């Protein structure tokens, strides 16, 4: 089975400023890797469409989206201490969310997909952009799967090294969605305690930096097993941040690229559809390898 990689040129136009870790180089590195001969016959390519208002407004109020759009039209600016909009950022965010929606809907039909886009999304709450994130792509995708894709249950697994506070906040009262997150603790944004359970649909795995990589792999697998015990999802969406690898400049986990493939192969045994949406990861030469491992595992 091939994997459809969904991306859009606007991901390169989102300008966070010189020296910012969330840069276009992240997309360039992954696309270069996946276009290499190594993945011939494994990867097919698709250009993302922008998410439409109905899709976005299942997650974010219209007034919030209008504020982001207006700020971009004025040329952009600083949203918080590390989150920026440029003139092109709102269109990039709409296409990023659209790629995530297409990933979810196509996965519901049996096609493995990976949305290679930016800005990332898992820190964005309903009305607040933060942590490099403007629109919560994976929750927009999950809601589309539930409303338009025929899914009754969606499992979101977030392996980004930072806790997806926005994702948890948006889904922790929705019993149709379960959220599993492995993340470094303590670390930005300071959320994600193990005792945060939502309506029984949140499974947080906070861990210290510097542990053996096998520990992180086993602990996330155990949490996914608990989340799916007696609860079979129709779709598994991965919030695929690659900043938990050794060498990432913003964190201290010790994963290697092949660990992501280990997880995907394990979760394929659940028997549900799967797709992935890019989140963080700030060492381009490393994240390209992890993305390649992820795609090969999704392809089976």
Catalytic residue positions?
123
Place of tokens 């470094």: 184
Closest CA to 222 of 154, 157, 278: 157
Q: What string of DSSP letters covers 137-204?
A: HHHHHHHHHHHHS--S-EEEEE-SSS--HHHHHHHTT-TTEEEEEEEESS-TT----TT--TTTTEEE
Place of tokens 């109020």: 61
**To 5 degrees, how large is the angle CA 148–CA 151–CA 152?**
120
d(CA 159, CA 282): 14
CB-based contacts of 230, cutoff 8 Å, min separation 6: none
Decide if 297 contacts 276 (C-beta within 8 A): no
In the chain, which ranges are continuous DSSP H helix? 10-13, 25-34, 53-56, 62-73, 89-108, 137-148, 165-171, 213-227, 257-268, 284-299
Distance CA 279, CA 121 (A): 7
How far apart CA 264 and CA 275 sit, in angstroms, is 10
Q: Which two tokens stand for residue 184?
A: 């470094």
Neighbours of 272 (CB within 10 A): 18
């Amino acid at each position: 089975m091939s994997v459809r990689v969904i991306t859009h040129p606007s991901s390169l136009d989102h300008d966070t400023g010189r020296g910012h870790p969330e840069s276009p180089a992240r997309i360039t590195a992954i696309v270069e890797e996946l276009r290499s001969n190594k993945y011939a016959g494994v990867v097919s390519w698709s250009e993302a469409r922008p998410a439409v208002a109905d899709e976005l407004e299942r997650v974010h109020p219209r007034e919030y989206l209008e504020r982001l759009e207006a700020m971009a039209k004025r040329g952009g600016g600083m949203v918080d201490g590390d989150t920026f909009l440029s003139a092109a950022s709102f269109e990039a965010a709409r296409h990023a969310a659209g790629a995530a929606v297409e990933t979810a809907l196509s996965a519901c039909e049996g096609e493995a997909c990976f949305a290679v886009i930016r800005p990332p999304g898992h820190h964005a709450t309903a009305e607040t952009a933060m942590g490099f994130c403007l629109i919560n792509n994976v929750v927009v995708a999950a809601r589309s799967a539930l409303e338009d894709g025929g899914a009754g249950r969606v499992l979101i697994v977030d392996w980004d090294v930072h806790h997806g506070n926005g994702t948890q906040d948006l889904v922790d009262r929705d019993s149709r969605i379960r959220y599993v997150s492995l993340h470094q603790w303590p670390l930005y944004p300071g959320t994600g305690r193990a005792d945060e359970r939502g309506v029984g649909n949140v499974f947080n795995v906070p861990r210290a930096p510097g542990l053996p990589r096998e520990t992180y792999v086993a602990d996330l697998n155990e949490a996914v097993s608990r989340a799916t015990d007696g609860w079979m999802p129709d779709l598994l969406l991965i919030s695929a941040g690659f900043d938990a690898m050794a060498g990432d400049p913003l964190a201290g986990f010790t994963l290697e690229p092949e660990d992501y493939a280990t997880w995907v192969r394990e979760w394929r045994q659940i028997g549900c559809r799967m797709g992935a949406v890019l989140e963080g990861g700030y060492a381009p030469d490393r994240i390209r390898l992890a993305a390649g491992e992820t795609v090969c595992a999704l392809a089976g």
